[in-house]
Amino acid sequence: MRTSIVLLILFSFISFASAIPCTFTDGRGRYYDLSSASNCNGSTYVGKDSKNWEYYINICQEATSPCPEKGQAVCQGSGGQYYGLGSVFDLSFSELSSGEGVVLTYNNGEFCYPTNAPRESIISISCNSGVEFRVTSVRESPTCVYNIAAESKHACPTSKGPQKVTCITPLQQMLNGFLVPHSHDDVGWLTTVNGYYDGAVRSIISTAVENLVRNPSRKFIYVEQAYFHKWWTDASISDQQRDNVRKLLQNKQLEFIIGGWCMQDEACSTYSADVDQNTQGHQFIYDTFGEAYNPKYGWQIDPFGPTSVTATLQSFMGFKGHIIDRITYSIKDQLKSTRSLEFWWNTNPSLGNASRVFTHILDDNYCEPMGEGFDFEGGATPVTPSNIRARAEQFVSLIRQRAPFYRTNNILLPWGCDFHFVNATKQFENMDQIVKYIQDHAAEYNVNLKYSLLSEYYEAAMGSGVVFPERDSNDFMPYADGPDAWWTGYYTSRVNLKGLIREAEHISRAADTLYATTPTANRNVSQPVAFDMLNISRYALGISQHHDAVSGTSKDFVAQDYRNWLELGSANAHTLSETLLNSLASKGGNAPSFSNFTTQALNLQPGKTLVVVVYNSLGWTRSEFVRVPLNRNDVTVTDSNGGKVAFEVHNAQGTSEGKYDLFIGTTIKALGFQTYFVTAGAVNSKPVDTPLINEVGDYVLENSYLRVTVSSTTGTISSIQNKKSGISNTLNHNVLAYHSYTGSGQRSGAYIFRTTGPAQPLSSRAPTNTPQGQIVQSLYQVFPGDTAQSYYKQNIRLYNAGGDENFENFIDISHEIGVIPEDHEVISRFSSNIQTGGVIYTDNNGFATQKRTYDSTLPIPANYYPNVYWSYIEDSNARLSIASERSHGVSSQAPGSVEFMLHRRTSSDDSRGVDEPLDDTDITHPVLRLVYETPANSDLLRYKQVYSVNFPLSLYYATANSPSDWTSRYQTSYSPLSGDLPPNVHLLSLKTRDSKSNTLILRLTHLFAADEKPANLAAPAVVDLKALFSGYTIGNLVETTLTINQVVNSNPGLTITLGPKQIRTFLLTLSK
């Protein structure tokens, strides 16, 4: 056994030390070996260009002094300042266009700021049998491409054989192993948050702290502040243990990484929820330990595919680096082969260098080397004097195996896994011996090893002088860990939980903004009590962003625990909102009593008036219809001035609380409320059966903006027209289901989507259609199922408000789906004649847009992507945008088509750890909102509808004798702002910071990317805070990082400018 280990070490060393391949066979079969042109002792001076820049190159090897950057094959400079022009690790060969010779292209040189791209060198070497090596010309292009012409006898064809020259370059240094102990503590998965804490996490943190105190060379990193906060406030934890934590932080033995409430999912979570849950954790760290211990590094090692938005947000948090793991196996293999597992990720082109993040991808997975026999609490063979050399050499071999995949001699070694270090004593006492043995034999193994914090690794890697590759803003979605194992099912799994999380976010936001803008004297609730109520909601939302929560990949009883927390949080937020609305509506000592429950609406008596208060938590005035369930249809609606209001009563259809649905056209100012009165006992308001039927029997839904035709043959949408823009397209709507694969091998389950073939229609029969409404044109459709049960129903609505585009420029499709049969993955597909070329655009976390191109070489699930807020398809004339109020999987399986997976249920487990099928028997009610416009006019509409559908108007109810009685006693409207925010600026946050001070958190987001339309909205936006909050005195204004744990500008001024996609964060006070 020992012999085989020694041989493995030797093999790994030789593999790492061997030269970069320097042979090439051209298209005519000619073989070239340029290795003899390599300078094993350093770089070769080749002369100066017309601008007097000096050039040094090497062939297939690193160019050393005077080139300062490690890993560069070409450099340029003068006067001691040199720039790398191409990485030795990013070398490609091609054929000389004429004659015999070879072209070497080196990519990923140092960053060229004029072009916002890395430098590139192209060395064209022609065959000249009489010349050793000679450069004939050097040209620099304006785009930082360097063309070097040369001639050499080594660029002549030769006979095939082993590469002639193998250099041991300065890159082959002693390896530095950074051993980072960690425990990956899921905030719920196979058991609940509390179950994990009581069963493992309390012991993990306690024994880790205890063992770090015993030995100052030991280190540990920790991520999930939902658990660390629980441990810190645990009555069983002593003051001495807490003091030990402070000392360990000071001694740089303990480090907080990410520092959010959880390690969030990246596919299904919104950027606003990610900001909030990270703020919770960072605020706890800041308030408890101080700014010196702010997290500075990302550690997204387990989410199932990384988005660029996570890294963008971390750049706004002031992070210095980002670590990811789960990317598709074939992509990881390719990056390993080019030593590109570390790179600069240019995560958002609109933000430029401000969002450029140094990123490291783990070469295997975050549990290594635990799986190689070093999990001592999990049964690994203990280290003894008799086996210490063999165990140490085994560990050295693991370091050597990693080394060829990275460009520096610094090797990151995560040591931990899910809920490891419950017995930290056993872990450290064994590993201490291995670490010491390797340290004592460093010269023999050519390896240094030490316990390390993540920051120590990053400082070494980023300070190595190596020029790392540049990556554009493309994400790593979707993720696959095998040929038929595409993790695209979880984009839709447990769709009701996804919807509840999004609903809780909007309810929490309403309470936050109401509390922040209600004058202190009017709150009628103490700040500690209010903050406790808000914190329950924030806690629930924080844990539900975990990558096994919003993803829908936990066990069923754990999903129910998330639901319980969310419902409790929402109940507290509603109660606080009711209290604040009661205060704001009070007049002369009279205060109403509002409730968010619809009980009063469903029990409205003749001669009585239902009072409906509508609150808007967004920073713009909104004109929208709201729906109120009623027990009667003989009602009339007026506003707070007694004026007429557009309204309509419909017969309730599908699952509804009441017998009727009342639709009211409302206009609500930014962050304000408005009162409407529904009085019983008026004329019978039962609507006529519209929409209209045209001359061929099709249903037509039409307002001044849009015309939607529903075919009499298929019973579904067949075309769409934008009357204002003069565009029209076919738009065939179909409801289908993929059948989950249940055979041998990889099955479809909570994580993985695998289908037996293309999606099949639910039925060959057309749906039944029930039309009604004139102001709210509605078509209720019941689709026959492929079983005896009809489990798919939907309501198409188009609003007709006399030409007001705010009401009319979209189509709502609300669904009732379930209980669906086993092994069904149900989709809604729209097929059009829009010339998309196989391209669909989807969002990342509701913040940025990604272009996706259909890949016909991959299976159906591989062409699915996450939709959080929006997706769209387009050509030069038309764009169809679709907004959702929860996350779904989305795809374009054919040119001109877009499909949303709305529900899924499988009979199998997919063998990824949850160990139960996704047996989701819920009935779900997702909503899709369609916007149809020209590309030039679509972006603003899309953003407005996205935020409207995700942060709907909030309704609260009371009962009055009459409208006049109510208006005489109470205030009927309120808005704290003097006007609206600019249309391209979103009020991301306005909330109280803590339970003691009056400090508020204000975040503003520029919605537009730099290339979106119109150009004036993609330009910098200006917000005048003094004018916006004209009724308040603004005090103590400072600008901070995104998660408010570091001051960026102590005097930012009251006029705020935001560039495209910029988020700016402030702390301030507002007083009347």
Which pLDDT tens digit goes with each residue over 460-508?
A: 999 998 989 999 999 999 999 999 999 999 999 999 999 999 999 999 9
The predicted structure's pLDDT at residue 370: 66
The pLDDT tens digits of the residues spanning 537-585 come to 999 999 999 999 999 999 999 999 999 999 999 999 999 999 999 999 9
In this predicted structure, the answer to whether residue 978 has a pLDDT above a threshold of 60 is yes
What does the chain come to in residues?
Answer: 1072
For Cα atoms 463, 466, 470, give the angle at the middle one, nearest 5 degrees.
110
CA distance 931 to 942: 7
Confidence band of 69 (pLDDT split at 50, 70, 90): low
CA distance 362 to 368: 10
The pLDDT tens digits of the residues spanning 157-178 come to 988 877 777 664 444 578 999 9
For the question of whether the overall pTM of this predicted structure is more than 0.85, the answer is yes
CA distance 408 to 860: 39
Interhelix angle 527-544/271-289, nearest 10 degrees: 120
Terminal CA-to-CA distance of the chain, rounded, Å?
78
Confidence band of 26 (pLDDT split at 50, 70, 90): confident
Please check whether residue 703 is in contact with residue 655, taking contact to mean a CB–CB distance below 8 angstroms. Answer: no
Amino acid at 747: R
Confidence band of 687 (pLDDT split at 50, 70, 90): low
The predicted structure's pLDDT at residue 965: 94
Per-residue burial over 393-405, b if 16 or more Cβ lie within 10 Å, else e, is: bbbbbbbbbbbeb
Mean pLDDT of 589-605: 93
Q: Where are the beta strands (DSSP E) in 695-759?
A: 699-702, 706-710, 717-722, 727-739
- Written as six digits, the tokens of 557 are 């009883």
Mean pLDDT of 77-83: 81
Please check whether residue 191 is in contact with residue 558, taking contact to mean a CB–CB distance below 8 angstroms. Answer: yes
The predicted structure's pLDDT at residue 6: 28
CA distance 901 to 494: 12
Q: 72 or 188: whose pLDDT is higher?
A: 188
Contacts of 386 (CB under 8 A, 6+ apart): none
Mean pLDDT of 1013-1028: 97
Confidence band of 684 (pLDDT split at 50, 70, 90): low
Please check whether residue 908 is in contact with residue 822, taking contact to mean a CB–CB distance below 8 angstroms. Answer: no
Q: 851 or 371: whose pLDDT is higher?
A: 851
The predicted structure's pLDDT at residue 19: 47
H or E element in which residue 964 lies: helix 963-969
CA distance 590 to 609: 18
Which residue, among 176, 172, 126, has the nearest Cα to 152 in the 3D structure?
126
Residue 104: what are its φ and ψ, rounded to 5°? Answer: -105, 125
Mean pLDDT of 975-999: 96
The pLDDT tens digits of the residues spanning 131-143 come to 988 889 898 888 8
Identify the weakest region by mean pLDDT among 659-663, 763-767, 851-855.
763-767
CA distance 973 to 41: 80
CA distance 118 to 105: 13
CA distance 149 to 428: 57
- Written as six digits, the tokens of 757 are 């073939």
CA distance 59 to 47: 16
Sign of CA dihedral 986, 881, 903, 716: positive
Is the peptide bond between 66 and the residue preceding it cis, with omega within 30 degrees of 0?
A: yes
In this predicted structure, the answer to whether residue 1046 has a pLDDT above a threshold of 80 is yes
Which residue, among 785, 809, 786, has the nearest Cα to 945 in the 3D structure?
809
How many angstroms separate the Cα of 875 from the Cα of each of 731, 837, 1055?
14, 8, 39
**DSSP code of 69?**
S
Please check whether residue 49 is in contact with residue 139, taking contact to mean a CB–CB distance below 8 angstroms. Answer: yes
DSSP line for 858-896:
S-GGGGEEEESSEEEEE-SS-EEEEEESS-EEEE--STT
In this predicted structure, the answer to whether residue 741 has a pLDDT above a threshold of 60 is yes
Return the percentage of the chain with pLDDT > 90, whole number: 79
Sign of CA dihedral 178, 179, 181, 185: positive
The predicted structure's pLDDT at residue 27: 85
H or E element in which residue 570 lies: helix 556-584
CA distance 348 to 357: 10
**DSSP code of 671?**
T
Q: 187 or 774: whose pLDDT is higher?
A: 187
Which residue, among 1008, 988, 1012, 992, has the nearest Cα to 1000 in the 3D structure?
992
Residue 789: what are its φ and ψ, rounded to 5°? Answer: -95, 140
Mean pLDDT of 584-605: 93
Question: Which conformational region is residue 458 in: left (phi greater than 0), alpha (psi within -120 to 50 degrees), or beta?
Answer: alpha
Please check whether residue 212 is in contact with residue 219, taking contact to mean a CB–CB distance below 8 angstroms. Answer: yes
Confidence band of 686 (pLDDT split at 50, 70, 90): low
CA distance 583 to 592: 8
807 burial via Cβ count (<10 Å: 0-12, 13-18, 19+): buried
Mean pLDDT of 258-280: 98
Which residue, among 878, 879, 720, 705, has the nearest Cα to 808 in the 3D structure?
705
Q: What is the mean pLDDT of the chain?
A: 92
The alpha-helical segments, DSSP class H, found in 416-483 are 424-440, 442-445, 454-462
The predicted structure's pLDDT at residue 371: 65
The predicted structure's pLDDT at residue 7: 25
CA distance 268 to 868: 6
- Written as six digits, the tokens of 175 are 């390896």
**DSSP code of 595?**
B
CA distance 123 to 844: 39
DSSP line for 628-660:
EEES-S-EEEEETTS-B--EEEEE--SS-SSSE
Which residue, among 274, 338, 265, 334, has the nearest Cα to 304 in the 3D structure?
265
Return the percentage of the chain with pLDDT > 70, whole number: 96
Out of 58-62, 393-397, 750-754, give the one with best mean pLDDT: 750-754
Mean pLDDT of 362-381: 87
Q: 261 or 763: whose pLDDT is higher?
A: 261
In this predicted structure, the answer to whether residue 523 has a pLDDT above a threshold of 50 is yes
The predicted structure's pLDDT at residue 262: 98
Residue 548: what are its φ and ψ, rounded to 5°? Answer: -120, 15
In this predicted structure, the answer to whether residue 814 has a pLDDT above a threshold of 60 is yes
The pLDDT tens digits of the residues spanning 10-21 come to 223 223 333 467
Amino acid at 581: L
